[in-house]
Structures are given as C-alpha cells and as structure tokens.
Structure 1
Amino acid sequence: MFKIPNLTLVQREPILQAASYTFQEGQIYLLQAENGSGKTTFLRSLVNLVPKKSRIISFGQVPCSQVKAKVFYFESSDWFNPNLSGKDYLQFIQQQWWSPIPLDPETQRRQMQDYYKLPIKKYSLGMKQKLLIDLYRVSGAQYLLMDEINNGSDQASREILYQQLIDLAQEGKLIIIASHYQDEIKIIVSQALSLKRLQLQED
C-alpha cells in the first residue's frame, strides 16, 4: 500500500487541499476528473515532479533508498528520445529498476520483435504506446502510475492492455490510471476515484 497524508496541490488554481488517501496493493484505481483539472499534476506529485505541500508520501514500509525500484511512472510517449530504440529503453529500465524480467518475452507478447531495435523516430503512435506499456511491465515495479496509457491504441490493443492490467493486479501490483476511455476501463477497475473524493477521504 501507499499513503498520501495531507497532500496540497496548487497550480494556477487549487487542485487538492489537505487530501489523504491509502491505496492498496492488488487494486486498479481509475482517476476521474475533467480535462485540465489536475489528474496529470496529481500523478506527477507522487513522484516529486511538481512542488507539493505534504508530509512524506509513504510507500508501505519501503526505505527511501529503495522507492525508485518500487514505483514506475513514464508520463507520455512524448518523453521518448527519437534517436534511441525501443530496445535501448527496455534495457535501460530493466537495469535502472533492477528488474529480473527478461526482455524477449515482452517484445514477443506485444509483437514488437520486428521493430523494437529501430529508432523511435520511425515508430507510429501505436508502436510507441506498445513500447510504453512494455516499459511498465519490464520495470517490475510494485506501484504503477499510468497517464493515458491507452491513448492512440486501437480497440484490439486496448483490450490486450486491459487484460494485462488485470493480470498485473492479480500479481499484487497497485495501479493508478488516468484515462479518457473511462467507460471501457471502468469494467476492470477496483475503484474509480475523483480528485474531489480524495479531498473528502479521511486518513
């Protein structure tokens, strides 16, 4: 589990005010909020990419030195360096997150074996999304924070993704996902949360 105690987020306008919540492992949480209301900012705050006013966000009993290996967040395929290959990224994530998960089964499962050695500048948006999904899997992280992970994927690819999310949750992973495909993804989530609900939740 991980706890958010008294989290306050302010950008142009207040997003959260003294919000507290405890997320449980083995669950898939869907963040619900209007576009532009702070879902991405909230996810960024959990990995210290934006300023926040809060006590320490606690990831279970994990020492601070080991938190990196437990949490994975890659906001968008826009973050990819176009001159690197999918293989470069998969190897980097595997090494930096000290993951024992092998690469080849992942590329075969996502049908990336024909292009994952090519530079990303040659990838379509759908190909980039397949790579992005595999980064989460290869990381081996316990806590997975996903922002529009299914954006740009066709219906068949989204269905594969939803089954993968179910499998990951059954492995004990804790998943928080923000998605425009809320009607589709609601059928697999453990709980749908609005930012307003986080504000009302008692620690």
Structure 2
Amino acid sequence: MLSIQNVTIKTRQPILANFNFEFQPHKVYGLIAPNGSGKTTFFRSVMQLIPSVYGKYQIDGLPIGKQLQKIFYFESSNWFDDNLSGLDYLLFIKQIWGSSIDIKNLIQDWQMIDYIKLPIKNYSLGMKQRLLIGLYEVSDAKYMLMDEITNGLDEGNRDKLFSKIKQLRDNDKMIVISSHYKEDLESICDYELFLENNTMVVKNA
C-alpha cells in the first residue's frame, strides 16, 4: 500500500492541501487535472524529488525513501540522455530494480528491434514513448506512477498500453496514470482522482 498522510504541497503556488489517501495494489488510479494544475508536481513529491510542506509518504508501512525499489517513476522522455541507447536504459533499469523481465521479448513486443541500439537522439517521439513504457515493464515495480504516458502514441500503441496496464493490475501492481482528459482513462481506471483548486477528490470510476 502507498499511503499519503496529511500532505500539503506548495511550490510558487499551492498545489494540494491536507491530502490523505491509501493507494492499494491491484488497482489503477486515474489522476485527472488541467495542464498546469500540479499533476507532475504531485508525482515528484511522492518520489521525494521535491519537498512537500508537510505530510508523510509510506510504502507498505515504511518511509518511501527506504522503499524506492518498490516504486517506479520516469517523468517523461525529456529525461533521456540523447547519447545513450534505449538498450542502455532497459539494461540499467533491469539491474537497479532487480527485475527478472526478459528484455528481448519486451523489445520485440513493442517493435523496438530496429532502433533499440541506436542513440536516443535518433528516435521519434513515438519511439521514445514506447521505450518509456518499456522501462516501466522492465522495472517490474509493485507501484508505478505514469505521467501523461499516452503522449505521442498512435491509436494502436495506446490500446496496447491500456491492455498492458490491465495486465499489470491483474498481477497485483498499483498504477497511477495522469491525464488532462477524463475520457482517456475511463476504460482502465478503478478510481479517478480530480486535482483542482488545491484539492484532490477521489471517485469510483
């Protein structure tokens, strides 16, 4: 369980006030909010990349800082080093997260064979997004935070992603996926979280 207790987040402006929630395994949560309202800031705060004003984050009863191998977050393709290859990233994440996922099968599944060994500077946005999804899969983390991960995907790969997310949920993963379009997430979410005006409202999907 990912537990968030009395969390308030404020950067240049207030993002979230006194939020309490427990994210459970075997569930998909859709984080829905307009652009600029704080979705990414919320994810960064969970991952301890920025401080919250106050509050507590725990995974399975322990401080999240001691449990980071149970959670995976890769904010966007902008984080990639363009001089490295996709294979470099897949091998690195597999090692650091201690995963047993078969990289070769994953590369074939996402049709990355033709470019996975090339420097990322040669990738299109769609190629980068498929690699980004691959990092989540290869991490095999119990908890996953996906920030606007459908960006740059064509319809076929978007449908494939949603099918993968359902499979991950059925394998006892917890996934939070953000979007500014409610319609994007309705088909896969168990709960919807609406972030606006410093408040997070949770509803059954």
TM class by smaller structure: over 0.9
TM-score (norm 2): 0.92
Specify whether residues 87 and 41 from structure 1 end up closer, same or farther in structure 2 by C-alpha distance, changes over 3 A only.
Answer: same
* Cross-structure match for 1:156: 156
- Counterpart-to-counterpart distance in 2, 1:62 and 1:131: 31
Residue 200 of structure 2, aligned match among 193, 198, 201: 198
2:77 is aligned with what amino acid?
S
Specify whether residues 57 and 63 from structure 1 end up closer, same or farther in structure 2 by C-alpha distance, changes over 3 A only.
Answer: closer
* Cross-structure match for 1:132: 132
- Counterpart-to-counterpart distance in 1, 2:149 and 2:121: 19
Equivalent pair of 1:19/1:199 in contact (CA under 8 Å): no
- Counterpart-to-counterpart distance in 1, 2:120 and 2:171: 30
* Cross-structure match for 2:100: 100
Where do 1:77-116 residues align within 5 Å? 77-116=77-116
How far 1:200 sits from its partner (Å)?
A: 8.3
- Counterpart-to-counterpart distance in 1, 2:123 and 2:39: 27
Between Structure 1 and Structure 2, the one with more strand by share is: 2
Equivalent pair of 1:29/1:192 in contact (CA under 8 Å): yes
How far 1:11 sits from its partner (Å)?
A: 1.5
- Counterpart-to-counterpart distance in 1, 2:4 and 2:95: 28
2:174 is aligned with what amino acid?
L
- Counterpart-to-counterpart distance in 2, 1:135 and 1:35: 24
- Counterpart-to-counterpart distance in 2, 1:34 and 1:184: 13
- Counterpart-to-counterpart distance in 2, 1:7 and 1:184: 27
Where do 1:23-102 residues align within 5 Å? 23-61=23-61, 67-102=67-102
- Counterpart-to-counterpart distance in 2, 1:70 and 1:180: 26
| 2:172 corresponds to 1:172 | yes
Q: Which runs of 5+ in 2 are unaligned?
A: none
- Counterpart-to-counterpart distance in 1, 2:67 and 2:32: 26
Percent sequence identity over aligned pairs:
47
2:20 is aligned with what amino acid?
S
Specify whether residues 200 and 192 from structure 1 end up closer, same or farther in structure 2 by C-alpha distance, changes over 3 A only.
Answer: closer
- Counterpart-to-counterpart distance in 2, 1:120 and 1:155: 23
Task: Count residues in correspondence.
Answer: 201
1:191 is aligned with what amino acid?
Y
How far 1:64 sits from its partner (Å)?
A: 5.6
Q: Which runs of 5+ in 1 are unaligned?
A: none
Specify whether residues 63 and 9 from structure 1 end up closer, same or farther in structure 2 by C-alpha distance, changes over 3 A only.
Answer: closer
